[in-house]
Amino acid sequence: MPQKQELTLPSKIESIEEAAQKAEQFARGLGFGDDFISAIDLAVRESVTNAVKHGNKFDTAKAVEVSFSGSGDALEVTVRDFGTGFTVADVPDPTDPENLLKVSGRGILFMRSFMDEIEWSNPEGGGLLVKMLKKQ
């Protein structure tokens, strides 16, 4: 039977760990194994990091909304911030030789690498919503 959990977190570093722990509990509750959970964990950490840091810019007046939903064969994660949004296509490819030694810019690559589907949208009310799906 499908299950769902929603979290509303403040825009601070500690929220990253909290979201990751809740994701792990949720995934374990659905019976997923370590490799699956490891992928979810990384994607949640990177997406919540982006929401806190780049989206809400650590503005504690702005929340990060996270949801997990799934059944035994797939798990969907959504992460929404209330920042000004961004265009994913504008993010430089971190594996391009000229970007290899840049300090940041690898989070989206990790999210794409470890999840099966990922899409970004600009929901009503502003901000950015990322929706990610991992299949068993």
Partner 1 sequence: MSDITIAERQAGDVTILDLTGKVTIGEGSVALRNTIRRLLGEGKNKILMNLAGVGYIDSSGIGELVSSFTAVNKEGGTLKLLKLTQKIQDLLAITKLLTVFDVFDDEAEALASFE
Q: Give the residues lining the site for partner 1 (CB under 8 A).
A: 13, 16, 38, 42, 45-46, 49, 53, 94-95, 100-104, 106-107, 109-110, 113
CB of residue 97 to partner 1, shortest distance in Å: 8
Return the number of the residue (107 or 127) whose C-beta is nearest partner 1: 107
- Amino acid of residue 123: P
Crossing angle (nearest 10°) for helices 107-114 and 34-50: 150
Helix, strand and coil content of the chain, in percent to the nearest 5, comes to 40, 25, 35
Return the number of the residue (113 or 122) whose C-beta is nearest partner 1: 113
CB of residue 13 to partner 1, shortest distance in Å: 5
Is the separation of the CB atoms in 46 and 55 below 8 Å? no
Return the number of the residue (5 or 38) whose C-beta is nearest partner 1: 38
Burial class from Cβ neighbours inside 10 Å (0-12, 13-18, 19+) for residue 15 reads buried
Beta bridge partners of residue 76, listed in sequence order: 69, 133
CB of residue 125 to partner 1, shortest distance in Å: 27
CB of residue 3 to partner 1, shortest distance in Å: 26
Return the number of the residue (98 or 124) whose C-beta is nearest partner 1: 98
